Amino acid sequence: MALNVSSACFSVFSYKKVIRIRAVASEDFASAAALKTEEESKVKLGGSELKVTKLGIGAWSWGDNSYWNNFEWDERKLKAAKAAFDGSIDRGITFFDTAEVYGSWLSLGAINSETLLGRFIKESKVKNPGVEVAVATKFAALPWRFGRQSVLNALKDSIGRLGLSSVDLYQLHWPGVWGNEGYIDGLGDAVEQGLVKAVGVSNYNERRLRDAYEKLKKRGIPLASNQVNYSLIYRAPEQNGVKAACDELGITLIAYCPIAQGALTGKYTPENLPTGPRAKIYTPEFLTKLQPLLNRIKEIGKNYDKTPTQVVLNWLIAQENVVPIPGAKNNEQAEEFAGALGWRLSNEEVDELRSLASETSPVIGFPVESL
Ligand SMILES: NC(=O)c1ccc[n+]([C@@H]2O[C@H](COP(=O)([O-])OP(=O)(O)OC[C@H]3O[C@@H](n4cnc5c(N)ncnc54)[C@H](OP(=O)(O)O)[C@@H]3O)[C@@H](O)[C@H]2O)c1
């Protein structure tokens, strides 16, 4: 009997052990699968060691009342921006792009976008301690800033606002009127001082891009990225040599305004115009001319059960070596962006959309591209 009891105990014990082993095995399998998915969903930024999700989120509108948000920033918009951040994290998008000038201190009532992003990261760490967020921010090449030290000073201020000990990607927001050599030296110093994992530029033309790449290469530092305006209706990087140079040198092209500030989502029409400064760019005439392209985007999307926003973002991702960073103001927009990942337009569709888009004259870009 005693034997029976002890053997019963043993069998209960061993049963539990089997369950535990099975549980451990399935946990391992699940975490291995999650790791694999994470690996697959990320790309290395240029020649750097930094890995980011194939799509990032732009945070320009967070806290801003100079271009976005109809010149007003309030509690409701703050909650929506936080929901955009949380919604992105929940869907596995962990790369965020901000800048020291977003939500600029120059405009009354605005909150700096870096400050907000830092706050959102801190709050989210409580719920998701294991999630690694990759933060990209930018140095404003203002004419009164000179030399390498100005880059380090601005970076340290950004790090302070973000509440972090370093940032993942530090970019020169635009080329300076002067002082560019010093700015590149400053980027290199930032890497060597462990303040950043990777460095990039933004709005750099092909010549400037090659020069920056060579200068950093001499110090053994890869230029990871060039952030430029690139979308189906703004394909200047394909025409001015920037995209080809990025591909040749192994520099990731980060695409800003990838949904043409909402114009490519199909939401804005000649009857439903955007408000604020966007109304001057996306005029009724422009939106009328855009309709045939938008209709085809919608048709293609239906075949994949995808929205126009997801199609135009997928079109960019399909170019290879391109990471789009659409701006999300709320959870719904972030959710829609996540649906741009995990599938691919066919090459025929990619070409067809490019050729249809070439019938629409592009909107005016950011003039700093030609500095
Ligand atoms: N380096 C540079 O010089 C530079 C310049 C510009 C931008 N950027 C970066 O690139 C990021 C993205 O560019 P962007 O924000 O100017 O333009 P965008 O990503 O092309 O458009 C974002 C806007 O589109 C609308 N939208 C977003 N999701 C939508 C959806 N699912 N359906 C309908 N409308 C939607 C939102 O405005 P509404 O809801 O109000 O329509 C949102 O603010 C910026 O946040 C910033 O990080 C960098």
Instruction: Give the Å distance between the CA of 256 and the centre of ligand 1.
Output: 8
User: Distance (Å, rounded) from C-alpha 109 to C-alpha 203?
Assistant: 28
Q: Where are the domains of the chain?
A: 46-260+319-331
Residue 40's pLDDT band (cuts 50, 70, 90): low
Task: Express each pLDDT in 57-101 by its tens digit.
Answer: 999 999 999 899 988 899 999 999 999 999 999 999 999 999 999
Residue nearest to atom 26 of ligand 1 (CA): 262
Question: How would CATH label the architecture of 46-260+319-331?
Answer: Alpha-Beta Barrel (3.20)
Residue nearest to atom 47 of ligand 1 (CA): 58
User: Distance (Å, rounded) from C-alpha 289 to C-alpha 301?
Assistant: 20
Residue 37's pLDDT band (cuts 50, 70, 90): low
Contact 314, 340 (CB under 8 A): yes
- Residue 124 Cβ contacting ligand 1 at under 6 Å: no
Mean pLDDT over 338-364 rounds to: 93
- Under DSSP, the state recorded for 362 is P
- Which residues are CB-contacts of 274 (< 8 A; sequence separation ≥ 6)? 261, 262, 263, 268, 282
102 is catalytic: yes
Average pLDDT score, the chain: 89
User: Distance (Å, rounded) from C-alpha 221 to C-alpha 141?
Assistant: 21
Contact 359, 91 (CB under 8 A): no
Give the pair of three-digit tokens for residue 26: 């399935």
- Residue 171 Cβ contacting ligand 1 at under 6 Å: no
- Which residues are CB-contacts of 71 (< 8 A; sequence separation ≥ 6)? 65, 276
| pLDDT score for 110 | 83
Amino acid letter, 366? F
Which residue, 265, 256, 227, 278, is CA-closest to 67?
A: 278
- Which residue bears the tokens 């694999």? 36
